[in-house]
Structure 1
Amino acid sequence: MTYLISAVTYIFDIFIVSSYLKNMLKHFKKKYSTIYILCLILVEVILYINELLSSRYNSFSSVVITPALSILTTFALCCFFSNSIKARILTALSFQVLVSLGESFFTFIITHVNPDILDMTNKTLLYSIMNLGSKVMLFLLCLIVTIFFRNQKYDHPTEYSILLFTTPIITLVIFSFTPLHFLSENDNVFFYEMLFICLSMLNIVNYILIQRAFISTVVNYTNMNIQRQLDFQKGKFEQLSESYRQNRRIIHDVKKHYFYIQEQINKQHFDDLKNYTSTAIQSIEDNYAKYNTGNLVIDSFITNYDNIATKNNIAFYVRLNVDFNRVPTNDYDLCIILGNLLDNCIAACIKCNNSRYINISIETTDNDKFVIHCENRSPVIDSTARQHSIDHGFGLSNISHTVEKNNGFFVYQQKNDIFYTDIMIPIIDESKRVFKSVNHISVHPSSHISRHTDIPVPPGRGRQ
């Protein structure tokens, strides 16, 4: 049974070091998974051999060789992760520090809580129990460290951490308060040896199950947000399609208007004609886009969000200087960028009580860049919490991914209650590039300055 405890101890050690490395490091080289598992086993064999030979070392050699061997083998395992040499060395050293602390803490606790344990006659059993208990303490210390320094995308909720800590803490309590010396004398050791083995295995199983449950929750939230984003994109394309159909209807109706006007002029029904043209003009103003750069995505989206802003009492300042022939993105990507950007602006402004505004500038520059700058009022939000939350929105990440796909740059920051966004995408296509001096600025005839720009822009809304 003592050998079984030793085997469980080494299995537990493999599990601890593997989970610690995966939490502290990043980008595990999955193509070497089989070799990694074999190396884990080899490391434990090396440590076992060193344990057998340690009785032949003097005390100084034992203190130096064993920790050095542990650090070197842990560092070798770190090489299966795509991290810097510095990160690997720090991880290997920190793990060895935790190993030493685990042994010291467990020895201190069990000798003070149960001092008679040192009087056990079965020294082999005592060593096995102490070794296994030290691994449980090491596991608890590793959990504490990884809670604060783990390299993961999402923060774990408090309930998750409580569940993780419960099992090793209960295990340590049972280890510490079990009167082993009394039990060994009464031939009840087998039961408690099995108890310690089962508790140790329970720590492994509990950790794996909780981790999988958390990953499953993350996947579900991710899928839900992806579906939400797909629905969002579907809505934006329907909006774009409706704008296109509306323009086609207006163009189609213009021909009918001309025929009717010509007929009324021929009949000299001028009063009827006056009423008719007034109605027609109002209809065109109600349905035609307010902004006309020639790019359907920009015109329809800016017009739509201008109307939404007006309904929500949000000041909407727009500056457009766009040559529609030089926009470097396709309509789909531009929908993602503008749709997510303006959706975020509207949502943020609605949460503000007063002085709500959106200030957006879109232009194609003479140095071959497509630039979007946006400022909007926004409630103060902890950006770190937003980034690491499971249920965070995918708007900013979708913008970032789309901009990077088009070889551009996307930066954003919040200063007090103002959120700033800047997007720059280079115009790479030779057919869309211009070859003019930077000092010569030419405004394309299709450029449009919003009717709102004659309103004084509030202080602090200039380009940052």
Structure 2
Amino acid sequence: MKKDIELLCDYLEWILIHPLENQQLTLQDSEMMRLYQTIEKFVAILNRNYEITENISEGKLDSEVGKDNLYAGPLMELQSILKHLTWQLGLVANGKLDMQIHFLGDFSKTFNRMIAQLKEREQALLENAKLTEALNNQQFEILEKELQDQAEKYTQVIDSMEELRRFRHDMKNHFMCIDSLLLDDNMQGARDYIHSINNIVASSFTLETNDNYIFNALIDEKLKVASQLDVKIKKIIAINRRLDIKDVDICILFGNALDNCIDALKKVEQEKRELSITVILVEDTLSVEIANTFEEPVRMDESIIQTTKSEKHNHGIGLKNVNATVEKYDGEVNIDIKNNIFKLIVVLCKV
């Protein structure tokens, strides 16, 4: 009996140090043997609960428990809670942020606080997206209004050009009238007639003519602004037919490009101000090269020009609109910066 008790004590001490490792005992006393078998059953339950706890700690949430293992109840409840929590986290990952948990104490508070913060950030992102969309719409409306104003202005210019054409057509008749007044010694009448002709010329524009009226008017207007800055201008335009480009796209492309040139030239020393524009049509491909001298260094970020102007939120739209317009005509835009000369090269296809 005493020896059997010593064996059982040693067995219990072994189990405490070596879980999941069993020892087989052979006891002499039948009552002690029965006690050993009961202890073995209890040890088996402990080992199973140890395995369940280990699985849960590793994220394995599919353990099963026998009906006789009453001590595993809390572990099964924990496993069920973690399964439910995993399901909820999956919903959160898919953007569902209208849930809370209340069964894990401090963890529940932290989880609910995290969900609340995610909802706040989601709401902030939505508001920012709406604000960005509103700003883009506002910029589009502003641009559309500017283009409408430009179109009206260039329509007026076209009227002036038509008046100049009519004047050129009647030039011989004008000279004949002046000659007749001079022959009659009507000096005042000749002076008045010449004065009236000067008024017509002053309100007109001298520009090579073709069927691209908006293009002609825009180029003429921008180059007049450049000439007022004492810019040396070189111009080559070779277009033998009407371009298949919308007037609004002509305004966007050439208006923005030349406005950027003029802004840059204002910062250049007067004797160094140079602008060249070359526009050549070959079959259905239009090649455009606009170059200007510049002073301030041009900053590029991922092929996008960074403005040096103070109101940065209102700038940079011009070149973006140029790129968007060129894409509409299956074209390409390239920028070449060398020796203080900024060169914009555009090719438009099927025009």
TM range (shorter): 0.5 to 0.7
Cα distance in 1 for residues equivalent to 2:272 and 2:128:
39
How many residues are treated as equivalent by the alignment?
Answer: 256
Structure 1 residues 222 and 283, CA gap change in structure 2 (3 angstroms): same
C-alpha contact (below 8 Å) 1:229/1:394 kept by paired residues: no
C-alpha contact (below 8 Å) 2:298/2:305 kept by paired residues: no
Determine helix, strand or coil for the equivalent of 1:372. strand
Determine helix, strand or coil for the equivalent of 1:229. helix
Unaligned runs of 5+ residues in structure 1 are 17-187, 429-464
C-alpha contact (below 8 Å) 2:234/2:275 kept by paired residues: yes
C-alpha contact (below 8 Å) 1:380/1:417 kept by paired residues: no
- Provide Cα deviations, 1:200-235, integer angstroms capped at 9, x if missing partner: 202321331232233223213212221221122112
Q: What is residue 184 of structure 2 aligned with on the other side?
A: 268
Structure 1 residue 282 displacement after superposition: 3.4
Cα distance in 2 for residues equivalent to 1:407 and 1:190:
61
Determine helix, strand or coil for the equivalent of 2:322. helix
Cα distance in 2 for residues equivalent to 1:280 and 1:427:
45
Cα distance in 2 for residues equivalent to 1:212 and 1:353:
48
Alignment of 1:238-249 (within 5 A): 238-249=152-163
- Which residue type is aligned with residue 214 of structure 2? V
Bigger Cα Rg: 2
Asked whether 1:380 is paired with 2:298, we answer yes
- Please, what is the CA RMSD of the aligned residues? 3.8
Q: What is residue 63 of structure 2 aligned with on the other side?
A: none
Structure 1 residue 303 displacement after superposition: 1.7
Cα distance in 2 for residues equivalent to 1:243 and 1:8:
68
Asked whether 1:306 is paired with 2:229, we answer no
Cα distance in 1 for residues equivalent to 2:142 and 2:231:
25
Cα distance in 2 for residues equivalent to 1:328 and 1:391:
31
Asked whether 1:406 is paired with 2:312, we answer no
Structure 1 residue 2 displacement after superposition: 5.8
- Provide Cα deviations, 1:224-252, integer angstroms capped at 9, x if missing partner: 22122112211220221111222344456
Q: What is residue 9 of structure 1 aligned with on the other side?
A: 89
Structure 1 residues 268 and 363, CA gap change in structure 2 (3 angstroms): same
Structure 1 residues 367 and 246, CA gap change in structure 2 (3 angstroms): closer
Q: Which structure is higher in RCO with an 8 Å CA cutoff and minimum separation 6?
A: 1
Determine helix, strand or coil for the equivalent of 1:423. strand
Structure 1 residues 8 and 355, CA gap change in structure 2 (3 angstroms): farther
Cα distance in 2 for residues equivalent to 1:388 and 1:244:
36
Alignment of 1:207-356 (within 5 A): 207-250=121-164, 258=174, 261=177, 265=181, 268-276=184-192, 278-294=194-210, 295-323=212-240, 325-352=241-268
Q: What is residue 31 of structure 1 aligned with on the other side?
A: none
- Which residue type is aligned with residue 219 of structure 2? I
C-alpha contact (below 8 Å) 1:313/1:356 kept by paired residues: no
Structure 1 residue 311 displacement after superposition: 2.8
Alignment of 1:407-426 (within 5 A): 407-415=330-338, 417-426=340-349
Unaligned runs of 5+ residues in structure 2 are 1-80, 97-101, 308-312
Determine helix, strand or coil for the equivalent of 1:310. helix
More helix by share: 1
More strand by share: 2
C-alpha contact (below 8 Å) 2:288/2:345 kept by paired residues: yes
C-alpha contact (below 8 Å) 2:333/2:347 kept by paired residues: yes
Determine helix, strand or coil for the equivalent of 2:299. coil
Structure 1 residues 400 and 381, CA gap change in structure 2 (3 angstroms): same
- Provide Cα deviations, 1:155-193, integer angstroms capped at 9, x if missing partner: xxxxxxxxxxxxxxxxxxxxxxxxxxxxxxxxx986523
Shifted more, 387-396 versus 203-212: the winner is: 387-396
Shifted more, 403-412 versus 240-249: the winner is: 403-412
